[in-house]
Chains A and B, each alone.
Chain A
Amino acid sequence: MIVMRSMDKTMTCAEFQDALPELFEAQSDLSAHEHLKTCENCAALVRDLEYIASQARLLLPIHDPSPAVWDNIQQAIRRGDPEPPAAVRK
C-alpha cells in the first residue's frame, strides 16, 4: 500500500485500472485516491463499479424451489440412489 501511495500522482489510467481489484478490497473510500482527483474518467468508472456492487446486494435470493424437489430427493434416498452417509453404512 505504501508503494501504491507513492505512485498515486503519477499513475496512468491503465495502471490505476490494473490496480483496481486490489484497491477495491483494500480501501473503503476510493474517492480519496489521488488519481481520481484529477481523472474524471476513472472516477466515473469507480462510481459505476461501486454502484453495480451496491445494486447486486439487493438481489438476495427470494425464490424457493418447488416442493417437488424435496419429494424427489426423498424418493431417490428411499430407492437408495445415493449411498447413505458413511456412518449409516457401518
Chain B
Amino acid sequence: MTLTAQKTTNSSATGALSHGTIAKERFVLMAGPTQPRPANQHMRRNPPIAGEQEAIDKAREGDGRAFETLYAMHKRRVYSLCLRMLGNVAEAEDLTQEAFLQLYRKIGTFRGDSAFSTWLHRLAVNVVLMHLRRKGLPQVSLEETLEPSQDDGPRKDIGARDLTLSGSIDRVTLERAIENLPPGYRLVFVLHDVEGYEHNEIAEMLDCSIGNSKSQLHKARMKLRDLLRTGQRKEQIA
C-alpha cells in the first residue's frame, strides 16, 4: 500500500462557525455485565444510516451543511479509532481533523463500492498509520506494520496451565492492555472486536488479505491474554 504525506493541522486554532448538531446517534453504550459469547458472534454495529446517502451526494457537490452532517454522523467512531491507536487526546483530535479534511478532499472519489463508513475508516486508518510511522515506526509496508517482531508477538500456550481470565477483567484493565498491544495488532483488534467490522471490511481498509486480518486478530487476542495474565500475576504477588 502506498501512503502519501499528509499535512498536519493545528487543533489549537479556534473557528468562528458554530458546531453542528449531531444528526443521528449511532452508538449504543452497553452497560452492565454480559455473558461471554463465542468470539465470532457479532452484533450488527455498522448498519446503514438514515440520510447518509443524501448527505454524501450533497457533500460531493460542495454542500457544507451536508459535509457537517457526515462529520456529525461519523466523528465519534473516527475519533475513537484515533484515540485508541494513539492514546493521546490532542493527537487523536489532530488526526480526526486530518481524516475529515481528507474526506472533504476525496469525497468525490467515493463510488459506493463499499459502505461509506468502511471507506472513511480506511482514510482514517491511513492517516493514523502515516502518523505512527512519522513518530518513529520504520518506513515499512503495511504487512510488516501489521506483523510485529517476534518479541512483541504472542506465544503459543502449550502445557502452561495457569489461572484463567474469565470474569476478572474490568474495562480500565482491558483498555490499558489494548494500549500495550503492538500497533498492528491493536488496529485489527479495535476494528474487529471493538468496532465490529468484518474481516472482509478490515482487509479492504488495510489492503491486506482476509486471512491476514483473521491471523492478526487471533495474535492480538493471544497477546492480550498474555498481557492480562501477566497483570494478574503481578497483582497476586503484590
Contacts and interface: CB of A to CB of B under 8 A. Distances in A.
Contact of B174 (A27, A56, A85): A56
Contacts of B175: 59
Interface string B137-173: 0000000000000000000111111001111010100
Interface of A is mostly: helix
24 contacts: A17-B157, A26-B40, A47-B166, A49-B218, A49-B221, A52-B193, A53-B193, A55-B169, A55-B174, A56-B189, A57-B42, A60-B28, A60-B30, A61-B195, A63-B80, A65-B79, A65-B93, A68-B93, A70-B71, A72-B9, A73-B97, A76-B9, A76-B101, A86-B108
A77 to B, nearest CB: 6
A58 B175 CA distance: 11
Contacts of A20: 218
B169 A51 contact: yes
Contacts of B215: 21
Interface residues of B, number: 82
Interface of B: 7, 9-17, 19-20, 27-30, 34-43, 45, 59-62, 64, 68, 71, 75-77, 79-80, 83, 92-93, 96-97, 100-102, 104-105, 107-109, 156-161, 164-167, 169, 171, 174-175, 178, 189, 193-196, 199, 214-215, 217-218, 221-222, 224-225, 228
Contacts of B37: 50, 53-54
Contact of A77 (B79, B104, B158, B160): B104
Interface residues of A, number: 57
Residue in A73, A74, A81, A88 whose Cβ sees the most chain B Cβ within 10 Å: A73
A64 B89 CA distance: 10
